[in-house]
Structure 1
């Protein structure tokens, strides 16, 4: 159990390493808000997942699956930024928020 918990926490650290690839100089100032919004949601959601494991609401396997979904969203954010000249479009932010909403709904269905 302790090993799986460490693995789950390690996965959340990996998801934020993908966010670190996008520096503040990489994006235009007017489009940073979308990236910051998505990054903040990913961070909060990762904290909720970690807390759910500690509280016994989620198993470590469930937490790993949710964290992998968050990792995929973070990776997609980096890819979309690269595709659109270094910024996220309104549609990109809408799509990423939708994906985060789906993961949050799964987390909420777990009793959090």
Structure 2
């Protein structure tokens, strides 16, 4: 049996796994500076929502709606990063920050 075609197939499959979009969402990509900035803001907003809810400044439904908005922003961030090899462009970062600004204003009321 000729092993060369089998070894070539295995090598191609391994290369495909390394270069696949799933790899772009690995730990190294999450620390990209623009992704890190967006995700740090989302984490900070999550804490603010919890604090405002605990202090009685937000109702349970208001807090739930804000958490939902933040989850949608986080999902959008992940989707954008998948399209760019694990990174965000400056425009994508700007867009996500504008969305976060709206949620931030809602928390402050």
Q: CA deviation at 1:84?
A: 1.4
Give every structure 1 segment of 4 or more consecutive aligned residues whose post-TM-superposition deviation is greater than 3 Å: none
> For residue 38 of structure 2, what is the aligned residue in structure 1?
38
Whole-Å Cα distance in 1 between the matches of residues 29 and 39 of structure 2? Answer: 15
> How many residues of Structure 1 are paired with residues of Structure 2 in the alignment?
86
Whole-Å Cα distance in 1 between the matches of residues 27 and 87 of structure 2? Answer: 10
TM-score of the two chains, using structure 1 as the length reference: 0.71
Whole-Å Cα distance in 2 between the matches of residues 23 and 57 of structure 1? Answer: 37
Structure 1's unaligned 5+ residue stretches are 1-21
**Rg comparison, structure with higher value:** 2
Superposition RMSD in Å: 1.7
Deviations 1:8-34 (A, max 9, x none): xxxxxxxxxxxxxx433236x7xx111
Query: CA 1:43/1:66 → structure 2, altered by over 3 Å: closer, same or farther?
Result: same
